[in-house]
Structure 1
Amino acid sequence: MSWKNKFGFRTSLKVKVAVSYMLLFFISCSAVFLLLIFIIKQNLTTSGDALTSQQATDLERVYFLGIRAEQIGEILPPEQLSETDMSLINSHFPDAQVLFIYRRSPVNDIFDDQSAISPTAFCYQEGNYYELRRKQDNSLYHRRINIRQNLHNLRRKLNLMVYSYGRDNISIRLLEPDGTVLVESEHPHDPDLGKNGAAGLPGKGQTEFRFLRRLLPDGRVIEIGRNITELELKIRQYRELFLIISLIIVFGGGVIGWLVAVHFISGVRRVTSAAQQIYSGDYSHRIELRDEDAEIRELMETFNKMNARTEALMEELRIVTDDVAHDLRTPLTRISGNVELALSSRDVNTDFQSVCITVAEECARMKNLLDTMLEISRTNSRPDELHKVQIDFTELLSEAHELMMPLAEEKFIDFKLRLPDKKVNVFADKMKLQRLVANLLENAFKFTPSCGKVIINLEHDDRECRLLISDTGCGIAESDQKRIFERFFRADASRHFSGNGLGLALVNAIVAAHGWRIEVESIPGSGSVFTVFIPAQIT
């Protein structure tokens, strides 16, 4: 669907290119900025989640080890426990879950058993936590951990974290398997915060938390909520900044598109201007070649070649037309002269006189036909030779009405003239305009029966001047309406009337030479209306 059909108007190429550039820049900027916002948010969220995960790990160790969590040495994953140690542990504690292992601190040896030679494994089995390690004699040292005694240290660690990050920025809880709160940090706004996870986007005065829940082997849960209100506000600021940048880029894209279109369309406009001059009959016009793009330059060169060829053909046509007119008129004139000379003789009998009269009439008809054809050809091929002047159209129509009135009275036709109150001036060739009006009126009177109507109506507004000549004649079939302006075409309904089929062809040539437009509306059996449209800029 074109823009004209969709929006009811025809947009220029410059507007289309500019809008296309704006859409292209908008889509590109939107895609890039959305990707950037997504990456920034992911990076900020990932870094925040990593910090929260480390905090959960620290609290988990305090939960397991109590005060010793800050005194132990290097923490290692369970996978680094040797097969010997793992077999020894499984032999004494079947199905024990090794949570992590750690090495003793080289500075502060906090263990009672100095005979241990392997890392200490922290394990969970059937609701109990144990410290296990292999001794030098390959026996197993084990000690059951009392988790309840570590809750005091956990609460202390929890409060230190809250104090360090601020109560508005972090929320920590230790939950029983049934959801009961065992240890909890204070939050000044919402004591139930986090029960249902993070809220939506924070509005004014609202706070949003992102929660991490670490499930412990005994079913308890360490829950840490991190305030991401500042993060969301920062993302929102990024969005607003990117939106402003996008609008600037889109506007810049529109300007760039407009400039590109102006540069591109300048050559097309020059071609259009040349085509308009050629349409007016100036076949000598050529487009000046400048520093154009290759495609536009090729178009201009081809256009100039085509116009040169057309000019040569039109000149040849003019010469041939003049030669044919001269060659045909001369014998017709001689024949007419000889016939008139023969008729002037007193010794001519009646039969010979009748033949001479017929020949004279046919010669006159042929000369009229030839003159009309030449006038059509010259009008079509040389519209630049029209002698245009300012004409009072209302006066010209009044004269035509007065001239045709005797014929109307003879055929008992109601012949009316309707003119506007103010005179209407048109810029046209007066003789051609008179011929146009005369041919349309002759056509109307020819096909209008006695007691019919013929009306001349002149309308005028800011856009155009309209000449309407209507009749109540035989009308024109719809299939013939597109061909009535062709040379020698005669509709079936008009074949019993005299004529050569060139009247409307001449009218159409005169209309085209002036840059006007003609339309016909007709209903067979009811009459026809011929309308000549003259644009306001040339009235």
Structure 2
Amino acid sequence: MRSKSKGSWRRTFQFRLVLYYFVLTLSVLVVTYGISHLVLYNQLQSETRIRMNQAMEFLTERYFGSSAEQDPQIIPNSEWPASVQTNFFKAFPKVMVGMIEAEAQHDGRGYEVIASTGTERLEILISAAGQMWISHSESIEEVFHSLETAIANPLDDASVSAIKLLLLDPAGGRLAETSPSAFSPARIAALRRELEDRTEALLTSPRHGLFMAREMYDGNVLCISNDFSFGQLELRRWWEFFLGLLAIFVPGSIFIGWFLSWRAMAGVKRVTAAARTLDAGHLQHRVGSRRGGTEVEELCDAFNSMASRIEALVQELRDVTANIAHDMRTPITRIRGLLETMEWNCASEAECEEVAGMVIEECDHLAPLINDILEVARAETGVLVLHPEPFDLSAEAQKATAVFSGSAQEKKITLQSKFPAEPVRLVGDRRRIQRVIANLLDNAIKFTPDGGRVNVQLSADQNEAHLEVADNGPGIPLSERERAFERFYRCSASRTTPGNGLGLSLVKAFVNAHGGTVQIEAADPAGCIVSLRLPLGD
């Protein structure tokens, strides 16, 4: 028995199954976390992008100085009268118009214009008579600070609470900013490149967050950034939740794997214990299948079948040993007696030669007996080596019948036969099939009384050949028919007839080795029928 070496538990199925459950659970959790992390990250990015778009729209509106998109009096520059427009740009040649609002006055239609010089925002009023004056002005820095204040109130949302502002002039110079570190020169340069062929740009960086820029009506560029700290916080919370799941599921998977492996291996351990008991010499020991699943039950059944076969083989070996000893005792005793006679009583060379001949005759009788016993033992234990070849079973049966016709005539027995006209093709060991037919005919003639009858009949269908040998001898009682195939068993009606009781056991052993069957039936009105079936080969 192999001893357990150090660390052998690592090679056990139970350890491997526990490790499998651990790796499987960990893999599922990691993959789930990865997918959910990616989905959550994209969702938070999308939500942050939407909030930043809303913030940019809000800041753009405030940069104009009023809720321009909601005022029905706002008119596009193209609808501004040309005379008013000409006089306006003569009076204010360096301003850029952002919004024009028409106002109804008592003497006609006037206008309020929001304009910018780039460094200063102006509110200019135009009367119906064409007079123009600046009603209010504020620096770009003041406008920027008002944007900082405004962004904190109506958009009090965690996803945009960390927004930083930057205002650039048309040349890229910094006019005002919330935090100098929020926008690096490289980031500003990237945003300006994106604005070369559009009015709005958006950049995303997994490490630094989201950046958005929009060109205002006066050429200045308003930039906003969000360091995605809210999203990072949510992702950190999800990571902490995942660690909690690991703390629960990993030990749980180890326990479940150990429990399932313990349940699965319980049946295997029972089989192992039974094998050790069997190895100790208790051949009658069997393992109970219990409730361990189909696979364990099949393993227990297979082990019990193997144990039964081993027990049967050992018993067969004991029987063969006993039978050989029994059948060899008489010939060896006679040989010994003859040799002793030759030693003490042989007076001449002729007498010694006679005794030597009798010894040789006894040896000739002993050798076939031993060979038959060995042949039966090999066949019953499944180690008999067959030499299959295609041959005509009908021709072999006819030859055997012809050989035994002389023995039948000596006892005035009528030997009748019936064989098919077509050959019966069989693939098998020709020599041993010949021995089967010979044994059946020898038994039938031996136990049939003088003047009796023996019938031999062969038939075949597509799958098997059927051979019957019937006689009208004393027959075999129903209670003894199964035992008739046992080695050295002599039926009550045949014990006075010479023989060693190996004929039918040899027949059954050879027929079974060819995958066939043999049985004994009662003949009408007396005698017995030995019927055998052999599968036909292709």
TM-score, normalized by length of structure 1? Answer: 0.47
Max Rg structure: 2
